[in-house]
Amino acid sequence: MKAVPLSASRILLIISGGIAAYKSLELIRRLRERDATVRVVMTAAAQQFITPLSAATLSGQATRDELFSLTDEATIGHIELSRAADLVVVAPATANILARMAGGLADDMGTTLLLATDKRTLVAPAMNVGMWLHPATQRNVDRLKADGVLFVGPESGPMACGEFGPGRMAEPPEIVAAIEQALAAGTALDDSRGAGLAAPGLEAAGVGPLAGRHVLVTSGPTYEPIDPVRFLGNRSSGRQGHAIVRAAVGAGARVTLVTGPVGLADPPGAEVVHVGSAQEMREAVEAALPADAFIAAAAVADWRVENVASQKIKKGERGFPTLRLVENPDILAEISNKATLRPAVVIGFAAETENVAANAKAKLRRKGCDLIVANSVADGASAFGGDTNQVEIIDANGAESLPPMSKADVADAIVRRLVIELSKRQ
Ligand SMILES: Cc1cc2nc3c(=O)[nH]c(=O)nc-3n(C[C@H](O)[C@H](O)[C@H](O)COP(=O)(O)O)c2cc1C
């Protein structure tokens, strides 16, 4: 498959009828800024939320919405349109269009194109949490993944309907990143579709240095509840952990990501488990074993509140509340010291503000893991939430210092090292 850079790509964007349709206008703008060609098709419901004129103005091309058009269909324009794209993107993807796609319906322009296309499809679901979690939607999602459809999001957060939970459409920058990733992996549908391969990463399953391996990764912070509305958290963004997941998927591994609350879309191709507290993270990690490798990139809170209030603690009722903290489970040490089901390679992270290498070496010994990826969070080079990082990869014999680089490059370096460590242990 030939990879297409975003700047030369032709994106067929299908907008379906959800409240997030307004964000697809920003998506068009961002894609056009990157010199992608964007052709827009809107469902009838989408046109209740945004106008074809806005989409046409931003994309610089007329939208195609009518399947039975006397002018456009004189040369079977819909087939032409479906083939003249490098990637088909559905954003927002409603519960309804996911159901129609999963059922193979072709009852309007968008779904007809989706069935006729010879390229991969990336969907960005957006819907109320109840609609997303409904067994019918989840069944459709599983079906589509098995058919090779790629997913970005949805994310968790407050919704337009006032509820909270998973179902928010991924933000336009995340969708652009997923489009780039899909283009880089190659988007032509080939015989692999019939084999039930799901995403660029899964497409690589069976191909690549981690083919046949199960890699378990934790990412993000944990939130330790104080009462139903407050928590103790930390500044981890999850960017480094999520980048490692993408790198491991790209290397052909089956990847399970256990992530704390982050504002990032789920990496395509990985099985993702969302958790809140350290105890929930420990349970999810245990449930995901066995694994060939465990990469503990999450910033797990060291302590939690001993007695979590069942009701919101009111201001000024009994003076200042006193929070008594107790130690959280040490997931990295527990997994490193397992008598059975210990992954062959266990990698921990150390975010230090001083004596980085010395503290990381001590942590390596204390926890019993195989490698520690140490970074300084004291200076600007590796700030929490930033896109760059500077790390040292430390094992019992010494340290490999890497220059400052993007978190994606750090992730690649860690995965390369993982490949070497796994091969040593065969
Ligand atoms: C105000 C409003 C907001 C809606 N938002 C969503 C949404 O975010 N996601 C969704 O799946 N459906 C949403 N719906 C329902 C869809 O518009 C409806 O299922 C429609 O048939 C979708 O058609 P389409 O998939 O062909 O675009 C909304 C409906 C209304 C009236």
Tell me whether residue 207 is in a domain.
Answer: no
Pairing mode of beta strands 231-232, 224-225:
antiparallel
Indicate if 150 and 279 belong to the same structural domain: no
Residues flanking ligand 1, CB < 6 Å: 16-20, 43, 45-46, 94-97, 126-127, 131
CATH number for the domain including 378? Answer: 3.40.50.10300
CA distance 248 to 186: 17
CA distance 372 to 345: 11
Tell me whether residue 191 is in a domain.
Answer: no
CATH number for the domain including 73? Answer: 3.40.50.1950
Give the model confidence (pLDDT) of 343-395 as tens digits: 999 999 988 777 877 888 889 999 999 999 998 776 544 555 567 788 889 99
Indicate if 353 and 242 belong to the same structural domain: yes
Tell me whether residue 201 is in a domain.
Answer: no
Q: Report the separation in Å between the CA atom of 71 and the middle of ligand 1, taken as the mean of its atom positions.
A: 29
Q: What domain count does the chain have?
A: 2
Indicate if 295 and 244 belong to the same structural domain: yes
CA distance 226 to 301: 13
Tell me whether residue 200 is in a domain.
Answer: no
Of the residues 3, 53, 136, 161, which is catalytic? 161
Give the model confidence (pLDDT) of 71-115 as tens digits: 565 555 677 788 889 999 999 999 999 999 999 999 999 999 999
Tell me whether residue 294 is in a domain.
Answer: yes
Indicate if 352 and 394 belong to the same structural domain: yes
Give the model confidence (pLDDT) of 155-197 as tens digits: 877 777 776 767 899 899 989 988 988 888 777 775 344 333 3
Nearest residue to 88 via CA among 43, 17, 39, 131: 39
Tell me whether residue 370 is in a domain.
Answer: yes
Indicate if 139 and 272 belong to the same structural domain: no
Structural domain for 21, as ranges: 6-184
Domain boundary among the residues 133, 162, 184 is at 184
Ligand 1 atom nearest the C-alpha of 127 is 9
